[in-house]
Amino acid sequence: MLKTSKTAGWGSAPAATRSVSSRLRSFNWRPVGAQLFTVAVTLFGLLVLTFVIGRMMPADPVRAIVGEDATRETYEMVYEQLGLGRPLWEQFFLYLGDVLTGNFGMSIRTGQPVIKDILHVLPATIELATFAIIIGATLGVTLGVLAAVNKDRWPDHVIRVFSLMGHSMPIFWTGMIGLLLFYAALGWVGGSGRMADFYIGLVEERTGFLLIDSALARDWEVFRSALNHLILPASILGYSSSAYITRMTRSFMLDQINQEYITTARVKGLSARRTIWRHAFLNIRVQLVTIVALAYGSLLEGAVLIETVFAWPGFGQYLTNNLLIGDMNAVMTCVLIVGVIFIALNLISDMLYRIFDPRTR
């Protein structure tokens, strides 16, 4: 018995190793390699596009640095320091090398590294966009399913008008009306900014996400103030994105409801609720992943107007302020980050496809 167990014990490890190695060899790596190649090509194209945008902008980066009253000698010295006198292909490879090493240049407006500025303002926009997409996706998917189930009846008409209003109304106008009604008149929510002025600087900035930082510090007054100021802009952004999600969800659900398997399920006696949510809705999850991911990316890059109305110190406001003064290092880096965000969201969508739909594995 001892000899048998010893043989089995020594033989189990190589068997397991062989099993893992055989699985790795049998795994189809071609789709993974193709996807990585596609991502690399897309990133390279994004870098080229960002560089071209930076060179085609009418703003003069040298004049933005030296000012309008600088002498000709000072202008030419800064012009050469920036490498603008070199051939375009050489400038591009210098730019590529800087990006790969994490050097995005200095901001003219703040005098700090651009990446440091962006890492400071990006959490505010992520916090706002995340709450907005939670509201928008929950509202949009629920209303879209409800509209599809009640096609051409009064709930469908009401929901379609509701989503049409959210899609048509300018978001800056909705933001100002929301501030006048819910903040100035009713006092239900906080006003502009991320929190009340009294609480600024009371909580140590660890993550940049104000709700998380205040919760870690157990300062619940700051947490309530931050949440109170977040509710209104996030709800307005969420309502705007829910309009698009509602229309797409309704379209997807109508396509599934008209399929034969739904008719078969109803004939078999399945309840309407089970037929809709356990059968039809499960088959549109993959499509909804793409819609929600794209909506979230749009919120991250398109929150400029709502950040301006609510004086929200986020990524969109940072991009706008630097674009107005011609700070090309900041503008090019912001454009690059927006592109990287969309690429990352597409990769996450592909991963979720494989989870929700086994046929794509």
Digit-coded pLDDT (tens) for 92-114 = 888 888 888 888 888 877 878 88
Does residue 118 belong to any structural domain of this protein?
yes
User: Which segment, 194-198, 201-205, 306-310, is predicted with the most confidence on average?
Assistant: 306-310
Digit-coded pLDDT (tens) for 66-94 = 666 677 777 777 777 666 767 778 788 88
> For residue 320, what are the domain limits?
114-325
Give the Cα-Cα-Cα angle 101, 35, 24 (nearest 5 degrees): 105
Count of the separate structural domains present in the chain: 1
Lowest mean pLDDT among 135-139, 186-190, 232-236: 186-190
Confidence of residue 4 (pLDDT cuts 50, 70, 90): very low
Does residue 262 belong to any structural domain of this protein?
yes
**Residues of 83-117 as b/e, b for ≥16 C-beta within 10 angstroms?**
eeeeeeeebbeebeeebeeeebbbbbbbeebbbeb
Cβ atoms of 309 and 179 within 8 Å: the answer is yes
Give pLDDT, residue 246. Answer: 92
Does residue 284 belong to any structural domain of this protein?
yes
Does residue 21 belong to any structural domain of this protein?
no
Give pLDDT, residue 7. Answer: 43
Digit-coded pLDDT (tens) for 256-310 = 888 888 778 777 777 777 888 877 888 888 888 888 888 888 888 767 888 888 8
Does residue 293 belong to any structural domain of this protein?
yes
CATH number for the domain including 222? 1.10.3720.10
Does residue 236 belong to any structural domain of this protein?
yes
Give pLDDT, residue 59. Answer: 66
More confident residue, 219 or 73: 219
CA pair distance 284, 287, nearest whole angstrom: 5
Whether pTM > 0.75 for this model: the answer is yes
Q: Is the pLDDT of residue 135 over 90?
A: yes
Does residue 79 belong to any structural domain of this protein?
no
CA pair distance 144, 159, nearest whole angstrom: 8
Confidence of residue 128 (pLDDT cuts 50, 70, 90): very high
Question: What's the rounded mean pLDDT across residues 233-244?
Answer: 90
More confident residue, 318 or 67: 318
Does residue 104 belong to any structural domain of this protein?
no
Query: Which tokens in the block code for residue 58?
Result: 């009418």
Question: How many Cα atoms are found within 13 Å in the side-chain-facing hemisphere of 256?
Answer: 23
Q: Is the pLDDT of residue 137 over 70?
A: yes
